[in-house]
Structure 1
Amino acid sequence: MSGAEGRKSIFITGAASGIGRETALLFAGRGWFVGAHDVNAAGLAALEKEIGAANGVFATLDVTDVDAFGKVMAEFGAATGGTLDLMFGNAGIGMGGLIDEQPWEQALQIINVNLIGVLIGVRAAIPLLRATPGSLNLITSSSSAIFGTAGIGVYSATKHAVRGLTEALSIELKRFGVRAADLLPGLIDTPLLSDRMRAMAPAEGEWRLVKPLEVAETVWKAYSADVLHWYVPEELRAFHARVVNEPEAVREERTALMAMMAE
């Protein structure tokens, strides 16, 4: 843990795979001390082996457990001397289902991980963030927070909530000198993406497949800027503007798409 001395630090939830893993590797490769946390113990062990135990702390964490989150944050703070440059609340689950068909227990699980877990993480990180000049609280939202996505309505609702929370935090945390921002990534090229969605993705534009490393690079950019919403790819910003100006037109297009996919 002495490896944290004199280095910038990042605390990542959902670090064992996808965006979180690529972010951990990127920041560690650029000299940062990494706090990597996930429920996936095997994935964390593999990440620790790749990064090196001297370059971070690696601990399993259920982000919905308030006491457990407080414990790992305290351990991280002990390793960094009480500082945290970048809190990256990235853990999330994306189970889908129509609102009248999705099991209630599953809907609650999505809400607990994607929203309650984020709230717990923000509250746990604030003491370290406010002790660190130039710090940033960054949360992974989603392109489904731009316009509600049918078939993953509960997931989409949590990501809308995260976007709203980020906007509130960007004002509230200013009194501590802490910035707040979120990521709104589109279609991420991971094994979790369905074969059908992968086949439908265009080669370019707002709905092209995005590699997790591209999102990790955006996390890197976010630390050095004061931008509220980060769209990945950037073309999604224009889609957001269209949603604001023409929500009914977007609704009709999405309705047609849903009907086509049901065939």
Structure 2
Amino acid sequence: MTQAMGRQSIFITGAASGMGRETARLFSQQGWFVGAFDVDRAGLEALQTELGADNCLVHALDVSDKGQFEAAIAAFSTATGGRMDILFNNAGIAMRGFFDEMPLEDQLRMIQVNLVGVLNGIYTALPLLKATPNALCFTTSSSSATMGMPLIAVYAATKHAVKGLTEALSNEFRRFDVRCADVLPGLIRTGMPAEDMLASAPPKGPFRVIEAIEVARTVWEAYQSETLHWFVPSELADLDKAAGNTPEQLRDKLGAHMKI
């Protein structure tokens, strides 16, 4: 008998904190077996203590390293008997500043984690997803994938790429009965947004601060659905429409809001 003991299973990157951690907690509460992966070993150990060693597998993982991803997938496969109901590619990093003032190395690192890391995850996990009926390949995109945001240009570019990849694979993976979807969160209370951004956020509207548990609940809802893009909060869908219909107007509005 495997460690998962026949339970449905979810593989989560960036699981040591924020949205990934809340997702691990929620799915564990629902009786799922959780694979939690992150570069933060201390955070993973704390999560394992909380969930119980019988209910999860924790494993250090730098998603930009394909070899590490292969080892993580192999360990997860052993624990679940080759099952993966959800792949949650959630790990990501963000750096803020003017494009021309940020070191190129930092911007390339964002590409490695936010985009190459997602490609590593999907490519490596696909055999398990294909072997699991009604599996879901789910990825964290961003509200910055609706319109390129100033001061996070390369971050926004990686998230646009994730959104496009999700759309394309949602059709390709029909061949395997594997669904694809993504979440486009706005300002989430995690360790990623700067404190000044959280403090200056409006009390209502699409750019209000949202708790990380809301994203976890979205992952749960997405597994029960065929919806492609999930906006958190839902008002961000209007931003996506505006970006498609009047991109110049939205561009100027964002520039004025950020005093650029």
Shorter-chain TM-score range: over 0.9
Task: Structure 2: state its 5+ residue gaps.
Answer: none
* Contact 2:19 2:190 (8 Å CA) reproduced: no
Mapped to 2, the partners of 1:127 and 1:195 lie a distance apart of 40
1:223 aligns with 223
Q: Are the aligned partners of 2:201 and 2:207 in contact in 1 as well (CA < 8 Å)?
A: yes
Aligned to 2:253: 253
How many angstroms apart in 1 are the aligned matches of 2:243 and 2:258?
18
TM-score (norm 2): 0.97
Q: How far is 1:199 from its partner? A: 2.7
Q: CA deviation at 1:256?
A: 1.1
- Which one is further off, 239-248 or 16-25? 239-248
The residue correspondences of 1:1-263 to structure 2 (distance < 5 A) are 2-259=2-259
Give the stretch that moved more between structures: 77-86 or 195-204: 195-204
Q: Secondary structure of 2:259's partner?
A: helix
Distance in 2 of aligned mates of 1:210 and 1:198: 10
TM-score by length of 1: 0.96
Kindly provide the CA deviation profile for residues 59-114 of structure 1, in whole angstroms up to 9, marking residues without a partner as x. 00011111111111011011111110000000000112211111011011000000
Instruction: Compute the displacement of 1:56 (Å).
Output: 1.2
Aligned equivalents of 1:112 and 1:196: distance in 2?
27
Q: Name which of structure 1's ranges 33-42 and 1-10 shifts more when overlaid on structure 2.
A: 1-10
Structure 2 residue matching 1:100: 3-state secondary structure: helix
Residue 174 of structure 2 aligns to a residue whose secondary structure is helix
Secondary structure of 1:259's partner? coil
Runs of 4+ in 1 over 4 A off after TM superposition: none
CA distance in 1, matches of 2:2, 2:177: 27
Q: CA deviation at 1:205?
A: 1.9
Q: Which amino acid aligns with 2:213?
A: L
Q: Distance in 2 between matches of 1:52 and 1:3?
A: 12
What RMSD in Å do the two structures reach over aligned CA positions? 1.1
C-alpha distance after superposition, 1:138-193 (max 9, x if no partner):
00000000000100101000000000000011011110000000000000012432
User: Contact conserved, 1:37 with 1:59, CA < 8 A, in 2?
Assistant: yes
Distance 1:123 1:22 in 2: 25
Aligned length: 260
Residue 23 of structure 1, CA deviation: 0.3
Q: Deviations over 1:27-65 (max 9, x none)?
A: 001100000000000000000000011001100001111
> For structure 1, which segment, 196-205 or 163-172, has the greater mean C-alpha deviation from structure 2 after superposition?
196-205
Measure the CA separation in 1 of the matches of 2:136 and 2:17.
22
Q: Distance in 2 between matches of 1:67 and 1:259?
A: 43
Q: Percent identity?
A: 54
Aligned counterparts of 2:169 and 2:198: Cα–Cα separation in 1: 34
Query: 1:2, 1:54 within 8 Å by CA — same for their partners in 2?
Result: no
**What is the SS of the residue equivalent to 1:207?**
coil
Tell me if structure 2 keeps the 8 A contact 1:14–1:92. Answer: yes
CA contact (8 A) 1:83 1:128 kept: yes
Q: What secondary structure, in the 3-state scheme, does the structure 2 residue paired with 1:172 have?
A: helix
- Counterpart CA distance in 2 for 1:13 and 1:132 is 19
